[in-house]
Each structure stands twice: as C-alpha cells, then as structure tokens.
Amino acid sequence: MGEWHEDPRGFLLGLYKTAVASAQPSVVVPAGVRSVFSGLSFPAGRMPAVPATVFGAGKASAAMAQAFEQSWPGPVRGLVVTRYGHAVSCKSIEIVEAAHPVPDRRGIDAAARMIDMARSLKAADLAVCLISGGGSSLLTLPIPGITLKDKQDATCQLLKCGASIQEINTVRKHLSQIKGGRLAAACFPAPVMTLMISDVPGDEPATIASGPTVADPTTNEQAAAILDKYGVDNRQKLIAALAETPKPGNPALKKAQAQIIASPMTALQAAARHAESLGLPTCILSDCIEGDAEQVGFQHAEIAVKALERGQPLLILSGGETTVQVRGNGRGGRNVEFLAAFVRNLNDLPGVYALAADTDGIDGTDEIAGAYADPTTLQRAKQQGLNLEDFRSENDCHTFFERLGDSIVTGPTHTNVNDFRAILVVPA
C-alpha cells in the first residue's frame, strides 16, 4: 500500500512539507526574475545589469528579497517589511520586521520610507515589488485624520467578527496612503514590476496584501458598507476619512505590471503529484474555499464519509481561507477550528485521517501551523479528560490539539499560499 497506508500521520506531514517547499521563494522567484526582463522587452536570453529598487511586504517578502538578490544580475537596493521572526539575511536590501495581523509603529515607519523612496524614482529607474500575504498589516500608512490606534481597533474588530479577507482589505485600502495602487502611483514615471505570492482565494492581485501596486476596483462606498455591516466601533470617523484609490486606467499606473509566481494551487498540485506518484488516487476540491471554518469542517467530513463508502483509498486536498467568528478568549485559529468540526462530525470513524495547517506556519496568532487528527482523536481526548466542545466554545482548539500532541509546529516557513487541508481515506 505504500507509506500512506503504513504511516498516515507521517505521510500527511510529508505532503504538507512538499506543498510548502513548492512555493518557496528560492524556487519561484528566479522564474519571476526572468519574466521581469521579458516584460521589459529585453532580447530573449539577455539579462543586462539593470539597477533595481526593491520594495516588499509580507510574511514571505524577506525570503523573496534574498532570492531576488541572488537572481538579479544588476545592482540592487531597497526596503522590505516582514513579520517579526520572518527576516532573513540580505546583502543590499534592508529588512524591517513589524507586527502582523494588527499593525504597529514599525510598519508605519517602513511604509513612510518606502513612499519617500518611490517618489524619488525617475523614468529611467526600475522598481521591483515583492509582495506576499500579510503585507496589508505590515505595510501600514494611515490616511490623514486616522491614527494607528484607529486602524488597530478596526483591524481587530473585523478579524474577530469573521469578515472575509476581501472585505478587510477593501477597508484597509481606503484608509491607506500606500495600499490599493498608491505605491505604484508614487513610483511613476518609473516602471514597476511586481512579483506576488498569493494567499487569497481567487488569486486576485488587487487583494493580495491589499494590492499596493495594483489598480483598485473597490470604492469608498463599498468600504463604508463593510464598516456598517459589521458595526465597527468609531465607524463614522473612519467613513468620513475614507479616500478613493487609483482605479483601472489611471495614467499613474500605466507602467505597472504584476505577476503571480506562486499560489494555493501551486501547493495543492505539488502534494497531489507526490501522492499520485505513490499510487494514491487524489482529488483537489478547490484552492479557494471560503466561509465559516466550522461549516467547512462539517462539509469536508461529509465528503470523507462518502469517499469511505466507495471502498477505495483516496486523498482529498483543498485550500483557501476560512473565517472564524470569535466567541471566546482562546488561541484560535481557523485551521484547528476546521479540524475540530471535522473530528466532531466523524466521531472517530475508522479509516479517516486529516491535517489542516497554514502554509506560513501560523494559524491565527500563535506560532502553530495547524494540527493532525485520526480515528483515535476523541478517544485519546476522553482518556485525558478533554472535552472538545469546551475548547470549541472558547475558540481554543490549539490547546486541545496541543495537549494531544497533535499540533504542527514549523516555525516561519518563509512562504504563504494560504491554508492546506489533506484528508486521507483508507477503507478497511
């Protein structure tokens, strides 16, 4: 039967590592560098020593900067902001660490410096932007009239109430001096080439890190409606301050191009290829599943039951970004909320094993990527006196799986292509 039958846990952990490895900046950035030259219409095969000013933001941005330095043939300078603990060494590009998912002063200072650098560029210069998930929080520069605390409070409330990433980023863009295409506009008349690692369902460039170099189709009216929808405190002040973003067709963005170099599907397909090479049939449900984490967990459990009834081994993969409505004071996060609902619905059904983890190594705010579950999960919990429902009601599923020894802890992975879910069905 192969490793997936003999060691389900090890097999699923190996799939996760395969998925993460496929989206590493060291793997995907060099190809992106070649595309930059192609986009600038240089002769095929030629890589002249063009100077580049690099800007970047996101959990993967420091590793992207390092890979870019190693791939780019010309002089490089720049500034990149990443999450605390995610910095890597670069020779010529300055790396700044700031807070995520709630912004802090270091992120503001870095964003202000980037805007100043961008405004100094001339038509003969080249700007390269390295963008990945997490950039929205890290690249924070509030519009006049809005304070850092205003943005922190609004971000916290939208995260807790279960707003989608598209909704959160719509608000962020209209309260920012750098997001929603404004960084690219500041670079004009210099050409801007953006390389993106996508962490958003649908891989929409305007949503990834709130699209600092991409024209924004959303409006002030939409941002205001989202603030009203979720009853955000202080929303009248926020609504009054909303500023419109550069739209498609804006002349200041005519020299800006963006390319996605890795996405959630990149990771799912890499995992599928590995499983199929071992003779295990594989189904990718989708790379852009959204919705409440608990409901998605219940739905995946139903799919697993139906697969089990067929009597044939199957690997079920999915990705995307679910949401959580915070009720308690636990440690989160959305992948373990998904997994807890999945486990509850299966009730230790034999033959089903699952892993759910974020590819950046952080599920929620804890330094835990996710967790593993198998047909003994609830039995082992009962033996330890752990009631799953108590942990679910407090949004504290990390603690539940941690006490069972089933947490997945990787540290920073230096990439971010969103959630990775793998369900192994092995009929008796």
* Residue 43: predicted pLDDT: 46
Cα Rg, the chain, nearest whole Å: 22
Spatial separation of the C-alpha atoms in residues 41 and 131, rounded to whole Å: 23
Kind and range of the H or E run holding 126: none
| Contact (Cβ atoms closer than 8 angstroms) between residue 399 and residue 364 | no
Superfamily of domain 3-18+265-425: MOFRL domain (3.40.1480.10)
Query: How far from the centroid of its chain's Cα atoms is residue 227's Cα?
Result: 23
In which order are the strands placed within the sheet that holds 370-373? 282-284, 314-320, 419-425, 352-358, 370-373, 407-408
* Residue 48: predicted pLDDT: 63
Residue 30: Cβ-neighbour burial (10 angstroms; 0-12, 13-18, 19+) = middle
- Residue type present at position 4: W
Model confidence pLDDT, tens digit, residues 233-286:
999 999 999 999 999 999 999 999 999 999 999 999 999 999 999 999 999 999
Spatial separation of the C-alpha atoms in residues 123 and 363, rounded to whole Å: 42
Model confidence pLDDT, tens digit, residues 30-89:
988 887 666 555 445 455 678 999 999 999 999 999 999 999 988 999 999 999 999 999
* Residue 37: predicted pLDDT: 65
**Taking each helix axis from N to C terminus, what angle separates 61-71 and 25-39, rounded to the nearest 10 degrees?**
60
Average pLDDT for the chain: 93
Domain ranges of the chain: 3-18+265-425, 25-262
Spatial separation of the C-alpha atoms in residues 371 and 377, rounded to whole Å: 11
Query: How far from the centroid of its chain's Cα atoms is residue 49's Cα?
Result: 32
* Residue 83: predicted pLDDT: 96
- Give the position of tokens 């009853």: 231
pTM of the model: 0.93
* Residue 1: predicted pLDDT: 38
Which alpha helices (DSSP H) does 120-243 contain, by range?
Answer: 135-138, 148-160, 165-174, 182-187, 220-229, 235-241
* Residue 179: predicted pLDDT: 97
Which residues of the chain register pLDDT less than 50? Answer: 1-2, 42-43, 45
Task: Provide the residue count of the chain.
Answer: 428
To the nearest 10°, the Cα dihedral for 179, 180, 182, 187? 100
Determine the 3-state secondary structure of 62 from DSSP. helix
Topology (CATH level 3) of domain 25-262: Rossmann fold (3.40.50)
The DSSP output letter for 42 is: P
What are the beta bridge partners of residue 420? 319, 357
* Residue 159: predicted pLDDT: 87
Locate 123 and state its tokens: 């038509």
The DSSP output letter for 71 is: H
End-to-end C-alpha distance for the chain, whole angstroms: 12
* Residue 2: predicted pLDDT: 47
